[in-house]
Amino acid sequence: MAQTHDPVHLAETTPIPDVQGRTDRRRVAIDRVGVKGIRYPITVETMEGGHQAVDATFNMYVSLAADRKGTHMSRFLELLNDFKSGMTPDRIIELCHLLRTTLDADRAHVEMTFTYFVEKTAPASGKKGLMDYTVRMVCDASTEGDSFILGVAAPATSLCPCSKEISEYGAHNQRCLITADITMNRMVWIEELIELIESSASCPVYSVLKRPDEKVVTEQAFDNPKFVEDIVRDLAGTLDADDRIDWFRIHSENFESIHSHNAYAEISRASGLANQKSETEN
């Protein structure tokens, strides 16, 4: 009779070589190694205390010592699965630290990008509709500590002050995309950052507008003309005044309606209150 082998029994008794765990003779350290472009369903906490299900994309990396041949890629996904519910800044920082310790690395890096929906009410008719915003959360963790960045990109309207000044019949306007990346010492919710961003534009944009609403937003933009420079300066002033924000990088790209190019402006620095605190301590 032919001898049969039980695959489960063989798997339990036959050692499987750990190639990644072997020593690498080239002795070249790697800054980041891991997995990129992971699509994963996640729930994030909302400012109202609920949860929103999002389709997120993750990039997850660790550093690799010079004597290590490779990292264990499957462990990135194993750990991510444990953090798929109720994602917050604290949870991403926890995930990042766990990656570092589990994979015995000096540093870990996690990026999470997703589309976030906020219900928005039209200014005149009161009609409601969902607006979509791109949100990015980035964490670095090392033996020295951790850092976390929250980023939001929000569309808005800008109306050209020069066009308004020189034209007899109205002024040209365009949609702009305003992005703010911040570090914080206390919680700043996605919804709050969206509101701060939109307040710097000539006028917010909406998903649902009836004729009375169109009149309101058109006139609001006309009464509040802004160059791309005005948008980032006004937003910088707003973020400077928020003592929860330690640092920001902001930029606006205005998709010109009468030019073949776009207008762009960017500011990056520690917030005003953070600078004042640092000067006082010195």
Residue 130 belongs to domain with CATH number: 3.10.270.10
Whether 2 is in a domain gets the answer: no
Whether 209 is in a domain gets the answer: yes
- Which domain does 260 fall in, by range? 28-281
Whether 114 is in a domain gets the answer: yes
Whether 196 is in a domain gets the answer: yes
The pLDDT value recorded for residue 3 is: 53
The larger pLDDT score, comparing residue 281 to residue 263, is at 263
Whether 21 is in a domain gets the answer: no
Beta strands 145-159 and 107-121 are unpaired
Whether 148 is in a domain gets the answer: yes
Q: What's the whole-model pTM score? A: 0.86
Residue 189 β-bridge partners:
none
Distances (CA, A) of 129 to 31, 122, 125: 44, 8, 12
Whether 23 is in a domain gets the answer: no
Write out pLDDT tens, residues 36-93.
999 999 999 999 999 999 999 999 999 999 998 888 899 999 999 999 888 889 999 9
Give the count of domains, the chain. Answer: 1
Grade residue 31 by pLDDT with cuts at 50, 70 and 90.
Answer: very high
Whether 96 is in a domain gets the answer: yes
